[in-house]
Amino acid sequence: MKIGLDFDGVIANCGKLKSDVAKMLFDLDIPPHKFKREIVIGEGHLTAEQYLNLQMTIYETREYGFLMEPVAGVLECVPKLLALGHTILVVTSRGEAALKIAKEWSAEQGLTIDFVGLGYGVSKAEACRGLDVYIDDDLDKLKPLVGIVPHRYLFSWGYNMHVANGNIAKRMVSWDEFHNTIKSL
């Protein structure tokens, strides 16, 4: 099976990283489960400019980017999926500089997987054509995959639990659940 993975929020725990860096940069305590753009700006924790600065800092600065922690279970489950003969492709919205950091970080974690970096705001639809499965933590990025990727999954975090996933994607709460789902397909 051909499996597509988003990077931030599926492989790397970006909510925790954003929370940690918000404390470093702005001396703000924003819990990881609130780290979605519309929540932190909407609730007045950060301005749009501060949020953009935070994103650029963590995604495009090696010093901060390498503070990422893996999502629980990813380092065990990805090798298991590969050992079962599945092909894995990371399809991310990261642009060139941020993609380089993600690839280096992944290699240091022992994950030998291929990446496609599209850049922010670009639909993942064409890059995901031919995949059997795709998992992302952003439902808006899964919507264009309806009719393209047969099995779509939304990796659940506190920052996306309020989003109704409808027929777009099935929720996954852990890497173990995702791994077991793939084994049953």
The predicted pLDDT at position 12 comes to: 96
The predicted pLDDT at position 120 comes to: 86
The structure's pTM equals 0.94
Radius of gyration of the chain (CA): 16
- Strand runs (DSSP E) across the chain, as ranges? 2-5, 87-92, 114-117, 133-136, 151-155, 170-172
pLDDT above 70 covers what percent of the chain? 100
Q: What is the pLDDT of residues 123-165, one digit of tens each?
A: 999 999 999 999 999 999 999 999 999 999 999 998 999 899 9
Reference 26, options 58, 70, 71; nearest CA is 58
pLDDT above 90 covers what percent of the chain? 93
Rounded to the nearest integer, the mean pLDDT of the chain is 95
Q: Are the C-beta atoms of residues 175 and 77 closer than 8 Å to each other?
A: yes
Q: What is the pLDDT of residues 86-124, one digit of tens each?
A: 999 999 999 999 999 999 999 999 999 999 999 988 999
Q: How confident is the model at residue 28 (pLDDT cuts 50, 70, 90)?
A: very high
Which has the minimum average pLDDT: 5-14, 31-40, 78-87? 31-40
CA distance linking residue 124 with residue 144, whole number of Å: 8
